[in-house]
A and B are shown apart, each in its own frame.
Chain A
Amino acid sequence: MSGRWFFLVASLALALRPVPATAEELVTSLSSSEVLIESNFTGAQIVIFGQVDRDKQTVSRPGPYDLAVVLRGPDQIVTTRRKDRLLGLWVNREAETFYEVPSFYVMSSTRPPTEMGHRNMLEKYGIGINYLNLPISPQSEVQVSERDDFRDAFLRLRRKQGVYSEQAGKVDFLTESLFRTTISLPATTPVGVYSVDTFLLHEGAMLASQTKALTVAKTGFEQAAFDLAHQRPALYGILAVITAVFTGWLAGVIFRKD
């Protein structure tokens, strides 16, 4: 990939742009605003880089800046179920449904979230897996005392699937103001429009933030097959049958004895 060249050119462009005054300003850019899923898709890497702009008028601050980059996939409704014994068998019993949870979440930061600020601030911006807002239905039948079990299990399973992760200490400052981080998208990446939020923090205070969009989309045959399956389901089914019969017939012809 020509990420390195792209990075150099883009950072030059960032450095040359006119700089305004007073408070810090945050400028970010993505190595690519679109990830296309093709048949050989095994994942992708997104480089997010940017610059903290400050000039002589900017308030001088002791100590370093903190940066948090949050990549969120499109929202999903996800049900978490718990197995319990019923007549000696382990079957799904209680369930909690979480609404508007990200299908994908990676938080990359200079330090672990707990060290960057207070819980209120982290929860407000959704910085860190443990500070994610996971709304449940008001009609939830799970006892209040057990809700945390479902929440923890949900986050644990999402981490295990590789769709939720945290990478503290993975935002590198290349110069005093220029930073970069790399986020990997696995092969199981859901499709949709993602948001990349970059937060500039200093001693627990939010100084600036910026949002960019990232599109993950199937392309070519993959998209066509998906569209056909959903928009013309009967035709898709008939085509699947024809393909299967043809394959069976072909095998019979190829392997026919004499």
Chain B
Amino acid sequence: MQIYLPIAEISVNMFVIFGMGGAVGFLSGLFGIGGGFLLTPLLIFSGIPPAVAVATVTTQIVASSSSGVLAYWRRGAIDTKMATVLLIAGIVGSAIGAWLFKILQSLGQLDVVISLSYVTFLGAIGSLMLVESIGAIRRRRTGTGRVARLPGQHNWIHGLPFKMRFRQSKLYVSVIPILALGSGIGFLGTVLGIGGGFMMVPALIYLLRMPTSIVVGTSLMQILFTMAAATILHAMTTQTIDIVLALLLMVGGVIGAQFGARMGQKLRGDQLRLLLALLVLSVGVRFAVDLLVTPDEFFSIAVKGGAGT
């Protein structure tokens, strides 16, 4: 069944979009990620204008993260103070991101920046996760346990000034790395249409040494508010959020996520991380191929003014 998207101004097959939302939602529930880095390229590949795809996915992430936040909130597994600091930084990052997005869009270099960023971030994070998960699986097979971290062990992050106390996370750390993390991920999220959960979770665990039980809820809350801000900023600067497209993706996504979450409970943590690493890497490779292989069509056209803008 075809449905007309009022902002993208094209007709799409409703079930194809719904299915994409569902499939990405399934993976997002399975791995505990937003899934924006998969959904945005999928939408662009299926003919949605890139600007509309990026902006609309931020709205979809608001929906998928809000159901997670509610669940963690009920269990009290959210460090609100940490989330607030991350959030303030995130909003600043988003604003810079939306501003840059508009400039790049007018310069015609948006696609290249998006592709390059995907290759860099997905490649780096995918490789790190792959190495880490293979190591974990190997250790499990050979039976040697991970060397336990000594209590009170510090890294360079803990030597920075402007310290702040976070009771729920049992942390007393400098706000500088937290602000950097929040704004960096807010910025990338707005430019690339990703929530950044797959960057935020490892950063909070390994850099800030936050307890794992609090990390996912806190990260989801930060993502929820940052993406809500990104949605409003996109609406105001680029006007490319398609509410019909967002709604189709949301409904497919939240249903898929529930099934993914159930499936995820049956797999081991290291197996999940290995699968996610392979997924992240393959999306990165797909973008790298586009940049490196001689294209079939050298030309592209973009409407700059007049009808339909």
A243 to B4, CA, bound (A): 19
B235 contacts which of A81, A83, A188, A240 (Cβ < 8 Å)?
A: A240
B11 contacts which of A41, A76, A252 (Cβ < 8 Å)?
A: A41
A78 to B304, CA, bound (A): 5
Whether A41 pairs with B4 at a CB distance below 8 angstroms is yes
Determine, out of B77-85, B158-166, B204-212, B292-300, the stretch whose residues face the partner at the interface: B292-300
Chain B nearest Cβ from A242, distance in angstroms: 9
The total of chain B residues at the interface (CB under 8 A) is: 63
Whether A76 pairs with B307 at a CB distance below 8 angstroms is yes
Chain B nearest Cβ from A42, distance in angstroms: 5
**1/0 contact string of A218-257 vs chain B (CB within 8 Å):** 1001110110011001101111110111011111100100
Chain A nearest Cβ from B142, distance in angstroms: 37
Whether B236 pairs with A233 at a CB distance below 8 angstroms is yes
| A145 CB-CB contact with B under 8 Å | no
Residues of A near B70 (CB, < 8 A) are 248-249, 252
The total of chain A residues at the interface (CB under 8 A) is: 65
Whether B231 pairs with A88 at a CB distance below 8 angstroms is no
Whether B301 pairs with A226 at a CB distance below 8 angstroms is no
Whether A237 pairs with B307 at a CB distance below 8 angstroms is no
**1/0 contact string of B240-277 vs chain A (CB within 8 Å):** 01011011001100110110000000000000000000
Whether A240 pairs with B231 at a CB distance below 8 angstroms is yes
Q: In the complex, which residue of chain A has the Cβ closest to the Cβ of B56?
A: A240
Residues of A near B231 (CB, < 8 A) are 237, 240-241, 244
Residues of B near A75 (CB, < 8 A) are 306-307
A191 contacts which of B9, B257, B295, B298 (Cβ < 8 Å)?
A: B9
Q: Which residues of B come within 8 Å of A, CB atoms?
A: 1-4, 6-7, 9-11, 59-60, 62-68, 70-71, 108-109, 111-112, 116, 228, 231-236, 239, 241, 243-244, 246-247, 250-251, 254-255, 257-258, 290-295, 297-309
The 6 sampled A-B contact pairs (Cβ below 8 Å) are: A76-B306, A79-B304, A191-B307, A222-B6, A230-B239, A244-B66
Known: A90-B291, A229-B7, A251-B258. 6 other contacts (CB 8 A): A77-B304, A81-B302, A237-B232, A248-B64, A250-B254, A251-B255
